[in-house]
Amino acid sequence: MCTAYLEKLAKRYRDETEAYDRTVCTGPTVHGGIMPATSYERGLITRNARHAFDSIAQEAAAHNISRAELWHAVGRHA
């Protein structure tokens, strides 16, 4: 596993999801990230986060990086 590539994918996940969150969330910004103001907004960002993770995980799998390894890297990158 290439650690640099894994970190790049984790950063991409964070950047993509945060960019989307900023387009739909109307809540306050906390620790640099925008927060959903309603359950509808939370549903939108959750759905997007799942889609983004699945997409990036497919790319990672092509490089023999498991979903668990990717998820762990995302957690470290948050």
pLDDT of residue 32: 85
Average pLDDT over residues 15-41: 94
Percent of residues, the chain, with pLDDT higher than 90: 88
pLDDT of residue 1: 54
Per the confidence metrics, is the pTM higher than 0.75?
yes
> Which residue range is the domain that position 70 belongs to?
3-26+34-77
Q: Give the Cα separation of 72 and 32 in Å (integer).
A: 21
Bridge partners (DSSP) of residue 29 are: 34
CA angle 12, 8, 31 (to 5 degrees): 55
pLDDT value at 45 more than 90: yes
pLDDT value at 12 more than 90: yes
Put residue 35 in one of left, alpha, beta given phi > 0 → left and psi -120 to 50 → alpha: beta
What is the number of structural domains in the chain?
1
